[in-house]
Amino acid sequence: MTPCPCGSGVNLDGCCGPIIAGKPAPTAEALLRSRYTAFVQGDVGYLADTLTPGMRADFDQIEAESTAEDAQWQGLEVRTVTGGGEADETGTIEFVARFKLRDQQRLHHELASFRREDGRWFCAGAEVNPKGPPRQVIKVGRNESCPCGSGRKFKKCCGG
């Protein structure tokens, strides 16, 4: 029993193995995890096959083979999943893949888009190193009520 490289805690034969062998992924997350496992195993053909035709045209198979061969994969962290369930047609997943390449610790942070076509999930796009929404800072005047809720003026409370 080999644990699945995707970090699901399930063995490979009960997790990503059947998907890589041709069984349709039930969810976008299952496809993402199987793509990570394919990288770990060096199955670059599977990586190309699970891209939409538009993405496949830009896929650099030689670079992917080199990375898959040289990298020491250290784990997959799925941060957020939006949509991509069994009843959905699209989904997005933010994830981080950690690996060591040429004696340097690296990570790949991505917001990936997925689309279901003819009952199969495909990777449809990606934003590398996605940025969160900008923080909004509210300026509080000295004579306004303190935002902490004390009822006192800002200058006599937290602004002092």
**Residue 145 maps to a domain:** no
pLDDT tens-digit series, residues 49-91? 999 999 999 999 999 999 889 999 999 999 999 999 999 999 9
CA–CA separation, 96 vs 110, rounded Å? 6
Q: How many domains does the chain have?
A: 1
Does this model's pTM top 0.85? no
Q: Which domain holds residue 123?
A: 12-129
Is-contact 11 4, C-beta < 8 A?
yes
**Residue 155 maps to a domain:** no
Give the CATH number for residue 25.
3.10.450.50
**Residue 47 maps to a domain:** yes
Q: How many CB atoms lie within 10 A of CB 137?
A: 6
**Residue 71 maps to a domain:** yes
- The whole-number pLDDT of residue 132 equals 75
Is-contact 88 65, C-beta < 8 A?
no
**Residue 142 maps to a domain:** no
